[in-house]
Amino acid sequence: MPEVVELPVSLYKSETKPDWCPGCGDYGVLNCLQKAVSKLCIQPKDLLVVSGIGCSSNLPGFIHTYGFHSLHGRSVPVATGAKLANPDLNVVITGGDGDAYGIGLGHFLHIARRNINLTYIVMDNQIYGLTTGQASPTSRKGHKTKSTPAGNIETPLNPLVLAMVCGATFVARGFSGDANHLSDIMAQAIKHKGFSIIDVFSPCVTYNKVNTYPWFRENIYKLEDQGHDRSDYDAALKRAHEWDTKKIPIGVFYQTIAPTYEEEDVTLKHGNPTKQKLGLTPEQAQGMLKEFI
Ligand SMILES: Cc1ncc(C[n+]2csc(CCOP(=O)(O)OP(=O)(O)O)c2C)c(N)n1
Ligand code: SF4
């Protein structure tokens, strides 16, 4: 029998079509995710996509896999629970910069340090899209938005630096306008053993008139074109700081191998809990069911 090299992308197409504005960067992210999982031959039944709330967080509704649309900023704990309950599942978190780095920031830092084997894809449009264009944690200083009409006075946070200092083992940035590059990063991130984060420049064509497709094309460059060594932590951190000083790098900044949470956990190291025997007699099991259900 011929070896299966990849599954058809059509397998992941949902009957529900995206309702994003025409031209929204999130279309590119969705297509790249479908391409990446097809390349990795991950069956829809073996993939769970979890999100919070926001335009970008609607993504699980548009991909034919298991999906969970949780509360604003709460995708990480939901995904963590799912992954630890069934470590055989491929779990991908999708959401926006507001969801990940605003209301969900506490969870983001903790998932980075835990090194749970899942992937976080943040559609970073430097704005709150769903709530019609307020400033987000990654809006640049001086950006005039609906909530900052005189210009944003806050310093933006740097998600890649944050992820790195918290111990993330795969840290990358992509651009939704460069599909081949982004889907390749996604495939690497999903394949990576441990926590992987990809911050994706995903333009909001309706509410962000500054960070547009042409603006990104003008301002980004690829790390791999500069011979960047992804295993060099200090070099990666330096590159991650570049946004305000030079052109903006995209690509894989940092990757290292470290034990995952699942490998170290006293129960999970014995394998998938859904496949382990409970060690109860039928009578004991019935008793427990009566007590709790
Ligand atoms: C607890 C809570 N607070 C606030 C909101 C309102 N809200 C919904 S989406 C959102 C921000 C979305 O921005 P982002 O995560 O960047 O996603 P985008 O829409 O830009 O893709 C906010 C503040 C909410 N739904 N729940
Ligand atoms: S408002 Fe912005 S982020 Fe939301 S769908 Fe439209 S373009 Fe995309």
Report the nearest atom of ligand 1 relative to the CA of 130.
19
Q: How far apart are the first and last CA of the chain?
A: 48
Tokens of 233: 């932590």
Q: Stretch 93-117: mean pLDDT, rounded?
A: 98
Its pTM stands at 0.95
Note the pLDDT of residue 243.
Answer: 85
Note the pLDDT of residue 216.
Answer: 97
* pLDDT tens digits, one per residue of 216-248: 999 999 999 999 999 999 999 999 999 877 899
Residue 3 has pLDDT above 70, yes or no: no
Tokens of 76: 């990480």
How far apart are the CA of 53 and the centre of ligand 1, in A? 5
How far apart are the CA of 149 and the centre of ligand 2, in A? 20
Note the pLDDT of residue 149.
Answer: 98
With 0-12 / 13-18 / 19 or more C-beta atoms within 10 angstroms meaning exposed / middle / buried, residue 150 is exposed
124 in contact with ligand 2, CB cutoff 6 A: no
Residue 217: beta bridge partners? none
How far apart are the CA of 208 and the centre of ligand 2, in A? 9
* pLDDT tens digits, one per residue of 138-180: 999 999 999 999 999 999 999 999 999 999 999 999 999 999 9
CB atoms < 10 A from the CB of 73, how many? 23
Residue 1 has pLDDT above 60, yes or no: no
Q: Which residue has the tokens 């490998």?
A: 263
Note the pLDDT of residue 277.
Answer: 82
Task: Give one DSSP letter per residue of 213-246, joined into a string.
Answer: HHHHHHHEEEGGGGT--TT-HHHHHHHHTGGGTS
